Amino acid sequence: MSKMRAVDAAIAVLKKEGIKATFGVPGAAINPFYSAMKKSNDDADQSNDGSERIDHYLARHVEGASHMAEGYTRANPGNIGVCVGTSGPAGTDMITGLYSAIADSIPILCITGQAPRNKLHKEDFQAVDIETIAEGVTKWSVTVREPALVPRVFQKAFHLMRSSRPGPVLIDLPIDVQLAEIEFDIDSYEPMPAFKPKASRAQIEKALTMLNESERPLLVAGGGVINANASDKLQEFAEITGIPVIPTLMGWGSIPDDHPLMAGMVGLQTSHRYGNASMLASDFVFGIGNRWANRHTGSVDIYTKDRKFVHIDIEPTQIGRVFEPDYGVVSDASAALELLVDIAKDWKNKGILKDRTSWVADCQARKTQLLRKTSFEEAPIKPQKVYAEMNQAFGKDACYISTIGLSQIAGAQFLHVYKPRHWINCGQAGPLGWTVPAALGVCVADPERQVVALSGDYDFQFMIEELAVGAQFKLPYIHILVNNSYLGLIRQAQRGFDMDYGVQLAFDNINAPELEGYGVDHIAVVEGLGCKAIRVREPGDIANALVEAQALMEQHHVPVVVEIILERVTNISMGTEIDSINEFEDLAESIADAPTAIAFDKHYLEQTKD
């Protein structure tokens, strides 16, 4: 045992739990914690005992810090992003990050400073009851009122974040608690093992029996597969059984887009025509680590009509939440898939598994027949063209980060993802402004990754200031900014009200007449923040701009923004039911209309020849 300040114990626990980075904004009430972080880093720099630093990235807005933490977590298995802020508004600013994290089952640790304990009830300066405010958006939210509890609260926080359905925790530290001296033995500290429920053999045999009895089955792979780091097992299971896979938006990347069993995405917006058609043609859906999100299902009636369901999820109360499946199993996706692979292999050897060749061929045929057109050559540029160019320019290693809007929806319809954690998206909450900070968090987690962010102009303007963090800390990535000078998704939604109200971003910029009414001069702002930017107006110039962006990034090690001036009004395919999606543009009739579609990919065609 040794004596130390509670904050020194907190930092020591963070290090033992594997934390190497924090994202935050300091303030008076959290300065003790910062002093412990600095002391620990000074010690690490001076010692030769392999002790590691905890690098701090200074955000420009505290909400930005919370989304950086999310990006950091989402980038790699086992990561936990940490965001730090002072008392009062810093905590309330991070509520959106906590909401986005809990909604997508993403563990982040949010640490806030607080007024001293004896002032909490006196309406002290910046003393807000963050514990209560954060309760609805965390797995646990706690103001620590006893100094000796500080290391134990951190220990429990990590256990909770990693156990069962993962999610965020907020720890609020009154300043006198931070500074108090406690006894703590860090040398013998051990993280608590995480708890993950595991399916039994009997449960998996029953689920597999039901699946095997069906005629036209699909696997729906949700974000739980990615969270459990079980994409390989999912693919193996699909390959053994020969069953096509529909990844959800959060599960995208769990099977590569060019895998012969990747059947497309289903849903009202971020979906493929062939994905929806295959879902409607199926008679059985086997969901793993998914939550039947309403933008995936549309109405439950249409989604579930004439088909049976098995649902496997780590969280018991997800089973039956949206609709009652024919059979449910509580399990971590990895544990369930391990058994599924094991039993399916056995059944295959015994010749029990049904042959799925003709059903797979039907799904693959839909992939070549039900495509959307991307080969638009006009200026102003049509968005579909942008994604086709991105497919050409970025290889299979590209890691896309996006938030919400027509940009994100069209991105999901047209881009290709080949690896887990290479489509990083705040699927449920969709807070505008998320993209820049989340991309920076991914860059910190994996400096080698080819990070490509995608924003509409409004998402980009929401938290544009965070680009300065990328310039300051040398976090290079490419940001595709598709500018229609509109709150495009909301403009499209307002068609139902026959209005175009409060959605215009267009104005005559007195400093930039060359923008011809498109409003904000993004190039000037981006450059002002210390990054690089290129503006493109002609479809034929997109490819070169993407090459130039890569070169600028390598030369300057800062974020590089490629702004593409779009036509102002382009409606993107979507609808209110999966059997009635509205198409607004011409559909692809041949390879010439959708040159980067996977179904026309030579490699794909070879794999699926027989």
Ligand X SMILES: Cc1ncc(C[n+]2csc(CCOP(=O)(O)OP(=O)(O)O)c2C)c(N)n1
Active site residue 177: no
Nearer to ligand X, 75 or 464 (CB): 464
Q: Which does 432 bind (CB under 5 to 8 A by kind): ligand X, Mg ion, none?
A: ligand X
* Residue 490 near ligand X by CB under 6 A: yes
Active site residue 487: yes
Catalytic residue among 11, 62, 144, 249: 62
Give the whole-angstrom CA distance, residue 11 versus residue 22: 11
Nearer to Mg ion, 486 or 604 (CB): 486
Active site residue 475: no
Peptide bond preceding 244 in cis form (omega within 30 of 0) = no
> Tokens 């649902």 belong to which residue?
311
Per-residue CA distances from 577 to 265, 278, 292, 410, 581 (Å): 14, 14, 14, 18, 7
Q: Which of 166, 244, 267, 456 binds ligand X (CB under 6 A)?
A: 456
From the list 385, 383, 372, 445, the residue with the least C-alpha distance to 408 is 383
Q: Which of 432, 574, 594, 598 binds ligand X (CB under 6 A)?
A: 432
* Residue 487 near ligand X by CB under 6 A: yes
Residue 92 Cβ vs Mg ion, minimum distance, rounded to whole Å:
27
From the list 484, 480, 522, the residue with the least C-alpha distance to 380 is 484
Element (H, E) at 324: none
Cβ–Cβ < 8 Å for 414, 374? yes
Sign of CA dihedral 101, 107, 111, 117: positive
From the list 609, 610, 606, 598, the residue with the least C-alpha distance to 258 is 598
Nearer to ligand X, 302 or 490 (CB): 490
From the list 183, 411, 218, 441, the residue with the least C-alpha distance to 308 is 218
* Residue 104 near ligand X by CB under 6 A: no
Q: Which does 490 bind (CB under 5 to 8 A by kind): Mg ion, ligand X, none?
A: ligand X
Residues at the interface with Mg ion (CB under 5 A):
456-457, 484, 486, 488
* Residue 459 near ligand X by CB under 6 A: yes
Catalytic residue among 19, 173, 436, 487: 487
Stretch that binds ligand X, among 162-170, 213-221, 430-438, 581-589 (CB under 6 A): 430-438
113: helix, strand or coil = strand
* Residue 437 near ligand X by CB under 6 A: no
Active site residue 62: yes
* Residue 506 near ligand X by CB under 6 A: no
Q: Which does 459 bind (CB under 5 to 8 A by kind): Mg ion, ligand X, none?
A: ligand X
Catalytic residue among 160, 175, 246, 432: 432
Q: Which of 486, 518, 600, 604 binds ligand X (CB under 6 A)?
A: 486
Stretch that binds ligand X, among 24-32, 263-271, 281-289, 398-406 (CB under 6 A): 398-406
Active site residue 569: no
Contacts for 221 with CB less than 8 Å, ≥ 6 apart: 231, 234, 245, 246, 247, 248, 251, 254, 255, 288, 289, 290
> Tokens 């029996």 belong to which residue?
209
Residues within the interface to ligand X (CB under 6 A): 404-407, 430-432, 456-459, 484, 486-490
